[in-house]
Structure 1
């Protein structure tokens, strides 16, 4: 996202192309769209010169998948369904009342499948010498997700957001929950109204935690003057900062 023009480029559910951030930037620079998804996003990225199609599996990821299959495809992100065998196909449970109230209660009490060991989000905000801000977020997504799932990574306002007039925000955690609140948009708008970054980040996280007490996530916020802070829930979070006047990166630890 370009904080000067508010332009956004995103790719979602993109396979066979390794560099999601470069692909997203190509969408922003060379199309009038905001997001491309699926195999057509891959085709666009390759047509614009990115390497591919490539097999992005690693020995580690294949071993992880094999163990998951041996464990009868658990954990997974399904609810209110039953499998024909341990790994599906899945069908609706006939003994569950699928009204809105039931679903909301299940969402609140279900423990998250997102933890410190099964996601890999990187979110970054950069200021240039003129004070213009750019943000970007890249992720492989949650492990064992349902095919076709898109998390909060490519959603402007959820995983990251920037406005030169105010500042920027980046986020990580349970993207399926976080994208329902657009926490980074909330942070930037709170700073616009005068909140300092620390309070704005804490407020955005608290809004989510009140509805989903088993949620895991974190936010960093930075205003246009470079004042920064973080907030988290369900884990201890770290973010790093580097400015031209610093000799090395400073790592900031944020506690729940």
Structure 2
């Protein structure tokens, strides 16, 4: 039977242990970062205007999926943005063909590829996601679906893009390999007030591509990927390289393994570069956003920037690149 002295010893030990566990809980609580939300990030300078439209949705307690669709519609409708939607550079035959995809927090996604005469492919992709059992529609089937959904057909080849195409034809560069030019896809990622992630990606593709060519932008996992437990990623640059590596899925999986968005993008770019003898000729860029609202980007060479909009305001940031550290 325990005497009074033993009882006092046990009480003291219990109090000490309680204090230790209390301190551990306190330290752990301090180390848990409060998510920065809402926040929206997107590729390139035209992402600034896109982010502002998305921000209006997010600050009214809107869903991230609605924010990204609303946001990327801005460059889709802007003829001055020559790599997205209206006024986008045509393929080698002079036709403007559009690709887009969208993905929400529940792994729902929709995509269209080789879509013609419809200004907002991202909204057609949203309709595919919401109103069909499919993920992707392409070509004439995508166009017919868009018309059935009430989208209006219009000529997307502006006089400026037509003139550039004609100059390209007459320059004798028709057989030149597509490399670092004209890959200014708009990819957007958002985290809403409920902590849910979504993403969108839309483009007119590589300028003067072969008719029928489709890049990474409408491919879930290549040009865009969202995992609501971890984070989201989108890509810009030479689409074929993202398709060969399923690049955005790779970035998200690297974040799952503990990498920051910045480090995950860097590792994905490095993996692509390691497989290319002449990687300096190409541009590949990734942009990532994790569940905590942390973001980062990385690319092969300089020139890629990305836009950020959060409660502190807007920023346009030059992404770190692989060549700046090369001797």
Category of TM-score, reference length = shorter chain: 0.7 to 0.9
How far did 1:255 drift?
3.0
Q: Distance in 2 between matches of 1:131 and 1:75?
A: 47
How far did 1:185 drift?
0.2
Q: Does 1:27 align with 2:92?
A: no
Name the SS of the counterpart of 2:245 in structure 1. coil
Q: Distance in 1 between matches of 2:119 and 2:105?
A: 28
Structure 1 partner of 2:117: 16
Structure 2 partner of 1:178: 242
Structure 1 partner of 2:165: 65
Q: Distance in 2 between matches of 1:76 and 1:25?
A: 35
Structure 2 partner of 1:203: 267
TM-score, length of structure 2 as denominator length: 0.64
Name the SS of the counterpart of 1:40 in structure 2. helix
Structure 2 partner of 1:39: 140
Larger relative contact order (C-alpha < 8 A, sep ≥ 6)? 2
Q: Does 1:227 align with 2:327?
A: no
Aligned length: 217
Contact 1:236 1:255 in 2 (8 A): no
| Bigger fraction of residues in helix | 2
Structure 1 partner of 2:106: 5
Structure 2 partner of 1:163: 227
Contact 1:240 1:249 in 2 (8 A): yes
TM-score, length of structure 1 as denominator length: 0.81
Contact 1:209 1:215 in 2 (8 A): no
Structure 2 partner of 1:92: none
After TM superposition, the runs of 4+ consecutive aligned structure 1 residues lying more than 6 A away are none
How far did 1:76 drift?
4.1
Change (3 A) 1:119 1:196: closer
One of 187, 206, 222 as aligned partner of 1:123: 187
Contact 2:242 2:248 in 1 (8 A): no
Q: Indicate the structure (1 or 2) with the bigger Cα radius of gyration.
A: 2
Contact 1:11 1:23 in 2 (8 A): yes
Structure 1 partner of 2:304: 237
Name the SS of the counterpart of 2:244 in structure 1. coil
Structure 1 partner of 2:257: 193
